[in-house]
Every structure is written in structure tokens, then in C-alpha cells.
Amino acid sequence: MLEPGTLAPDFTLPATGGQEITLSALRGRPVVLYFYPKDNTPGCTNEAIAFRDLYPEFAALGAVILGVSRDSVKSHENFKAKYQLPFELVSDTDELACTAYDVIKNKTMYGKPVRGIERSTFLIGPDGRILHLWRGVKVDGHAQEVLAALRKTLA
């Protein structure tokens, strides 16, 4: 069970910008790892824009922001360009990180059961340990809440 103080599960996955992201390679910096259901959907777009708009403040604290969904890198590239996202989006088509972080859930959409990503965010410290986690995230005010938690842990 993931909880504050546990080591964040490592992964290496393809990302935007032709990169391959290995979480453990980011040690030494705080990481905001947010999982979202799908590119170009209203809630996911609003969440990405909120992190985009606060990006300078996260960057000033040395933090890396990574968005993760099951979409392809090509879909991510289009989403990133459309909304001018200054951070990388990670493609988890095989659900490796999604499974490690236990964000795949059975949900009901339009009355039908579906398997999807439960919107979740993990604030990971420079030592690779989880500092804070949010599950079942509501988008409004969430990016500000993550920024406040980051400031508090670095104080």
C-alpha cells in the first residue's frame, strides 16, 4: 500500500519530446506525478491547464511535473502542443505505472462499467519517497493544493 514515507515505485516509460522518463533518475528534485484519465477531455484539460499556469512556481521550487495517462505519445504530443504545457506527459499504454500506483479502478460511465484511471497525484520528495498523495482528485483547486503541500514540505 502506497502511503507517505514509502518509496515511490520506479518506472521507465516513453514521454513527450522523444524522451524516456525514469522516475529514479529524477532523484534530488521533488516530483509531482499526476495520473489522469484521458487527453483532451474537459476535466483532464482543466487539470493540465492548472498545473501549466502554476508551473513557474513549481519550477522555482525545483519541482518536476509529470502527467501520466494511458494515451499514446502521439496523443500526448498533440495535447501538450494544443495547451502549451511546459512539462512532459508520460505514456503508460501497458498500465505499468498505473498498476504500480494502484490508480486503475472499475468505474461507471454513462451507466456502463469501465476500467479507467482514478485521477490521483503523488508528491514525491527529492529522496524518492512519497510525501503526500491524493486519490479521487477533484480538479478545482487541486494544483494549488499540491503547490501548498510542496511549499510546506520544503519549508
Active-site amino acid positions: 44
Task: Could you list the beta-strand ranges (E) of 36-149.
Answer: 64-69, 88-91, 104-109, 112-117, 120-124, 130-135
Instruction: Judge whether 153 and 125 are in contact, CB under 8 Å.
Output: yes
Instruction: Judge whether 23 and 151 are in contact, CB under 8 Å.
Output: no
Q: Rounded to 5 degrees, what angle do the CA atoms 144, 20, 43 make?
A: 35
**Cell numbers standing for residue 118:** 482514478
Neighbours of 82 (CB within 10 A): 12
